[in-house]
């Protein structure tokens, strides 16, 4: 196991342990399994992607983020940042250039959720993995635990947050598709129920075998993800991790959690209370500081 993967597993184990051990993990599995048929997702057909990057601009507008740079070095592989929740990279492959959109994969059993000490990172019934800033204590375990290296921390902000794609949960609540999907002019992004997207992906592979490799990335990787991909070349040529296996990362720690003392379930509420008390004290101090400055 790689050093970074070991750290991820340790964070998942630690986070899940203090959240109540097996009870928390099993509850997550039950919720995921019961809602799997209702979970939404996006099928990314990289054979249709134009590399226009309009998905990036639509995402920025929907989330109130700075407009992405129009001129970029396409030879440089980019990853999501605090000010850009999705990026579109171009890869040179054995069959020519292929453009690929990257963002949070919204795992069915997210490592970041299991690693989160205060349940700030949580799975929604729609399938999206969302983040609650009111609960976050800034431990950044979610960053270390994510096998896709997605969550980012605003290190240079006076009020730092964890940032990641949340699949436009506000739009989903209104019955709308994610902004990036709505902004794609080529039909490379298809939004729908995950089970139906998998069937659509299989249909495309079956009807056009020369167009796709027979693999739906995200159907099984890391226990399955809500974002699914089709491609004309093997996914390792497109920067995807192909060493994740099919087991969800939280499941690696399930046996260990049986030995976790019940007393540790008191830790998260304590940490969250300290975090909120500190934030409240800081908020109360600000008017006093301003008043002193006026005298």
Which element (helix H / strand E) includes 171? Answer: helix 169-173
Q: Could you tell me which of 86, 81, 150 has the C-alpha nearest to residue 112?
A: 150
Tokens at residue 102, please?
């990257």
Structural domain tally of the chain?
1
Bridge partners (DSSP) of residue 130 are 122
Residue 271 lies in a domain: no
Residue 200 lies in a domain: yes
Bridge partners (DSSP) of residue 182 are none
pLDDT tens sequence for the chain (295 residues): 554 554 455 554 554 444 444 445 544 544 444 355 679 999 999 999 999 999 999 999 999 999 999 999 999 999 999 999 999 999 999 999 999 999 999 999 999 999 998 999 999 999 999 999 999 988 899 999 999 999 999 998 888 899 999 999 999 999 999 999 999 999 999 999 999 999 999 999 999 999 999 999 999 999 999 999 999 999 999 999 999 999 888 877 554 444 455 455 455 555 556 565 665 655 555 555 454 555 4
Question: Tokens 């999907």 identify what position?
Answer: 181
Sign, CA dihedral 162-166-168-170, equals negative
Q: What's the Cα-to-Cα distance from 283 to each of 34, 68, 133, 289, rounded to whole Å?
A: 41, 33, 15, 10
d(CA 87, CA 80): 6
Phi, psi of 109 (to 5 degrees): -125, 85
In the DSSP assignment, the letter for residue 291 is H
pLDDT at position 272? 59
pLDDT at position 117? 87
d(CA 199, CA 186): 21
Instruction: Name the residue range of residue 113's domain.
Output: 3-233+244-257
d(CA 22, CA 253): 9
pLDDT at position 158? 81
Residue 291 lies in a domain: no
Residue 137 lies in a domain: yes
Contact present, 88 and 74 (Cβ < 8 Å)? no
d(CA 209, CA 217): 16
Q: What is the CATH number of the domain that holds 151?
A: 3.30.70.20
In the DSSP assignment, the letter for residue 176 is P
Contact present, 201 and 228 (Cβ < 8 Å)? yes
Residue length of the chain: 295
CA torsion 141-251-108-162 (nearest 10°) is: 0
Residue 273 lies in a domain: no
Phi, psi of 143 (to 5 degrees): -65, -45
Contact present, 120 and 133 (Cβ < 8 Å)? yes
pLDDT at position 21? 46
Pairing of strands 87-93, 40-45: unpaired
pLDDT at position 264? 52
Contact present, 134 and 284 (Cβ < 8 Å)? no
pTM tops 0.85, yes or no:
no
């Amino acid at each position: 196991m790689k050093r970074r993967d070991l750290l991820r597993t340790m964070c998942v184990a630690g986070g899940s342990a203090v959240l109540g051990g097996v009870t928390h993990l099993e509850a997550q599995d039950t919720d995921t399994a019961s809602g799997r048929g209702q979970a939404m997702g996006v099928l990314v057909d990289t054979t249709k992607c134009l590399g226009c990057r309009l998905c990036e601009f639509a995402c920025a507008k929907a989330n109130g983020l700075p407009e992405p740079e129009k001129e970029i070095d396409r030879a440089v592989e980019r990853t999501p940042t605090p000010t850009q929740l999705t990026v579109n990279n171009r890869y040179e492959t054995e069959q020519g250039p292929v453009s690929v959109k990257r963002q949070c994969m919204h795992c069915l059993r997210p490592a970041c959720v299991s690693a989160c000490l205060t349940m700030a990172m949580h799975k929604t019934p729609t399938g999206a993995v969302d983040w609650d800033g009111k609960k976050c204590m800034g431990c950044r375990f979610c960053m270390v635990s994510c096998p896709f290296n997605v969550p980012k921390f605003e290190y240079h902000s006076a009020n730092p947050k964890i940032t990641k794609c949340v699949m436009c949960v506000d739009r989903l609540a209104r019955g709308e598709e994610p902004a990036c999907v709505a902004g794609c002019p080529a039909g490379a992004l298809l939004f729908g129920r995950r089970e139906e997207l998998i069937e659509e992906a299989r249909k495309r592979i079956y009807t056009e075998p020369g167009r796709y490799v027979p693999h739906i990335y995200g159907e099984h990787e890391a226990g399955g993800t809500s974002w699914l991909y089709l491609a004309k070349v093997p996914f390792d040529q497109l920067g995807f991790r192909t060493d994740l296996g099919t087991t969800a990362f939280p499941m690696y720690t399930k046996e260990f959690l049986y030995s976790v003392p019940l007393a540790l379930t008191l830790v998260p509420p304590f940490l969250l209370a300290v975090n909120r008390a500190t934030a409240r004290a800081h908020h109360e101090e600000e008017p006093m500081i301003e008043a002193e400055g006026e005298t």
